[in-house]
Structure 1
């Protein structure tokens, strides 16, 4: 497999997952804003801090109004992490290797991009922001479902999945760090905030099956970090990442050895997560644990870039 093909596949997975996760995260902040803060600028400022660049936003827009923020994180082509930009990046990478990928994937991703490209921020606010972001999320879920249904389990599949699960782990860790920060400030009631986080990863029903009516920070952190059966937990993401990397089979022994090293790093993180207990998910140790896991994600991403695609640098969220 050529390096540029591996690069395109890896970043198709990352950008598609990033767009879906950002759509979910934006929905979370809508829940938070409605529960506590009305239309206050501080809620929008935190959203920019989470998935954008505050300095770049302030220079371009000045005030944290609802329309400015929604345009910046959703439709602004100059913001590399906006939903439109992430979808376009994934689409561009897919277009470059269309002959190697099922046509269903192009139809879904191209359709979503063309639909979003025609939208204005008023189309989001005049109807229902929840419906808009749900459509984006559902379209990207359909993209993943089509890939799961029709892609042969060969190198192409494993590269896409490796990018997807690395991005999923990183985005979930960022979300959990945001949750810890909000709870530490005690500006928002913890109960509605935590329910919003669970619903943002479609984990509310699965959580209730595991913990019934118990809703507190410790059990939610345990579930989202350590569950090996819930597909959007940190532990599951690293398990799937290790599995995807291990599935890559390369004729070049040097490249194959490098991939095995990244897979071993993912396995080491998985083992460390398996050793965590309730005390490690409580406030005193939680922040440092989350940051250490994010550092591991960065290391794995950089190693993959160094091995397969050193010629250019994609956008790290």
Structure 2
């Protein structure tokens, strides 16, 4: 497999996952903006900190108003992590290898991009922000469903899935870091914020099945970090990432060896997660635990880039 093809496949997975993840976050945080805690614009600044660049935002917009934040994280072409930019990146990579991918995938991603690039902030706020972001989420779910239904389980599939699950693990780890940071600033638990975190990964119902009415930081961290059956947990994502690396079979022995080493690294992270206990999740140690996991994900991404596409680097969220 040519490096250009491997690169495009990997980043199709990453950018499509990033777009869906950000759409979920924006939708949920939008609906807690009028809570007492968030009435001073705090929820908007949290969104920027989680999926954007605070310094770049302030330089361009100055204040955390609804219009400015939604423009920056949804439609700003100059923000490399806006929904429009991520959709465009996924579409561009898909276009570069269009002859190697099912036509359904191009039709879905191209349609989403063409729809999104014509939108303005007033299209979000004047109608229903929830329906706007839900449409994006549903379209990307359809994209993933089409890929699952029609792509042969060959190298192309495994590269896309490797990008998807590496991105998912990184996004969730950053979200958990943000939650811990906000929790540490308060003298009380932020119940709306904790619910928002669960809902942003569609994990509220699954969480309730396991923990019933108990909603606290430790339980949420444990669920999102260590649950092996919830598809958006870190543990599930790392398991899937290891499986994707193991599924890649290449003719070049040197590249095959490099992929095998990536699978071993993912397996090591999976084993570390399986060995974690309550002490690793306690405040004080949790921050270093999350950072170590994020560093491991960044290392896998860097090694993937070095092996298959060393000529240029894509944008890291």
TM-score by length of 1: 0.97
Take 2:133 and 2:163, find their aligned partners in 1: how far apart are those partners?
22
1:128-180 residue CA offsets vs partner (Å, 9 max, x unmatched): 22221111111111111110111000000000000000000000001111111
**Pairing 1:214-229 to 2, within 5 Å after superposition:** 214-229=214-229
Offset of residue 28 of structure 1: 3.2
Q: Which runs of 5+ in 2 are unaligned?
A: none
> Residue 71 of structure 1 corresponds to which residue in structure 2?
71
Offset of residue 90 of structure 1: 0.2
Offset of residue 188 of structure 1: 7.4
1:44 matched to 2:44: yes
> Residue 144 of structure 2 corresponds to which residue in structure 1?
144
1:276 matched to 2:276: yes
Aligned length: 317
Greater alpha carbon shift after TM alignment, 231-240 vs 124-133:
124-133
Take 1:285 and 1:44, find their aligned partners in 2: how far apart are those partners?
28
**Pairing 1:9-158 to 2, within 5 Å after superposition:** 9-158=9-158
1:192 matched to 2:185: no
TM-score by length of 2: 0.97
Greater alpha carbon shift after TM alignment, 265-274 vs 54-63:
54-63
Take 2:311 and 2:95, find their aligned partners in 1: how far apart are those partners?
19
Take 2:41 and 2:223, find their aligned partners in 1: how far apart are those partners?
31
Take 2:223 and 2:32, find their aligned partners in 1: how far apart are those partners?
21
Offset of residue 38 of structure 1: 4.8
User: Is the Cα–Cα contact under 8 Å of residues 182 and 188 in structure 1 kept in the other structure?
Assistant: no
1:108-141 residue CA offsets vs partner (Å, 9 max, x unmatched): 1111111111100011111222221111111111
Greater alpha carbon shift after TM alignment, 183-192 vs 247-256:
183-192
Greater alpha carbon shift after TM alignment, 101-110 vs 189-198:
189-198
- Indicate how the Cα distance of structure 1 residues 252 and 294 shifts in structure 2: closer, same or farther if over 3 A, else same: same
**Pairing 1:192-271 to 2, within 5 Å after superposition:** 192-271=192-271
Greater alpha carbon shift after TM alignment, 29-38 vs 225-234:
29-38
Take 1:307 and 1:105, find their aligned partners in 2: how far apart are those partners?
26
- Indicate how the Cα distance of structure 1 residues 74 and 188 shifts in structure 2: closer, same or farther if over 3 A, else same: farther
- Indicate how the Cα distance of structure 1 residues 192 and 44 shifts in structure 2: closer, same or farther if over 3 A, else same: closer
User: Is the Cα–Cα contact under 8 Å of residues 94 and 106 in structure 1 kept in the other structure?
Assistant: yes
User: Is the Cα–Cα contact under 8 Å of residues 189 and 216 in structure 2 kept in the other structure?
Assistant: no
In the TM superposition, structure 1's runs of 4+ consecutive aligned residues that sit over 6 Å from their partners are none
User: Is the Cα–Cα contact under 8 Å of residues 19 and 83 in structure 1 kept in the other structure?
Assistant: yes
Take 1:12 and 1:36, find their aligned partners in 2: how far apart are those partners?
39
Offset of residue 45 of structure 1: 2.3
Q: Which runs of 5+ in 1 are unaligned?
A: none
User: Is the Cα–Cα contact under 8 Å of residues 173 and 234 in structure 1 kept in the other structure?
Assistant: yes
**Pairing 1:278-293 to 2, within 5 Å after superposition:** 278-293=278-293
SS in 2 for 1:34: coil
Take 1:286 and 1:27, find their aligned partners in 2: how far apart are those partners?
27
Offset of residue 23 of structure 1: 0.9
